[in-house]
Amino acid sequence: MIGKLKGVIDSYGDDFIILDVHGVGYVVQCSSRTLQNLPPVGEAAALAIETQVREDAIRLFGFSSDAERDWFRLLQSVQGVGAKVALAILGVLPGGDLATAIATQDKAMVSRAPGVGPKLAARIVAELKDKAPAHAAVDPVVARLAGADEAKGAPKPVQDAVSALVNLGYGRPQAAAAVAASVKALGEDAETSALIRRGLKELAG
């Protein structure tokens, strides 16, 4: 199995590159984000590789980091997510954003990827909730606030703001994420009323 390739970029396709490694051209499929970050044709590049062997083909998928490759594998553990959809998600969301979206159960963020509908996005954030933090750094404020148990360790104004938004009908993960964003914008000494006002703006946006 191929785990890494280092060579010279021979050419670009819509969703792949041909990487020349000592005269052998490997067709490597990549996410749009990875493709944008690669150097021009003729320059050297190194990619972490995921090899998928099928009855009729061997396919290589290239990633800018081992962490991105880990996300690719993890996403495909969800029913309905194949290689194409996993690459589409990684093209829209870098690992940190994806981890935060999963930690806060933000289905809308995940459904921004082409080919990901609301139902599939809901399944992804639900099934990966306990796995995401191991693969990327979630915003610590969001991580601390996401979910009822974690929120108990937050300052009282923050807890009160989350509770107020929940009482207004918002889900706790969404409320926690909105208040977390408010704390980042206003500072950790912000009062409950200010956090609620800012949180409502975050949710409306």
Domain-ending residue, one of 63, 83, 105: 63
Long-range contacts of 65-71, Cβ-Cβ distance < 8 Å, separation of 24 or more? 67/95, 67/135, 67/136, 68/31, 68/34, 68/95, 70/135, 71/95, 71/98, 71/135, 71/136
Domain check: are 72 and 54 in the same one?
Answer: no
Residue range(s) defining the domain that contains residue 145: 140-204
Does position 168 have pLDDT exceeding 90, yes or no? no
Domain check: are 34 and 74 in the same one?
Answer: no
Tens digits of residue pLDDT in 73-109: 999 999 999 999 999 999 998 877 787 788 778 899 8
Domain check: are 70 and 104 in the same one?
Answer: yes
Domain-ending residue, one of 31, 47, 63: 63
CA end-to-end distance (rounded Å), the chain: 46
Tens digits of residue pLDDT in 53-65: 988 889 999 999 8
Domain-ending residue, one of 63, 80, 100: 63
Domain check: are 77 and 109 in the same one?
Answer: yes
Euclidean distance between CA atoms 167 and 134, whole angstroms: 31
pTM exceeds 0.75 for this model:
no
Domain count, the chain: 3
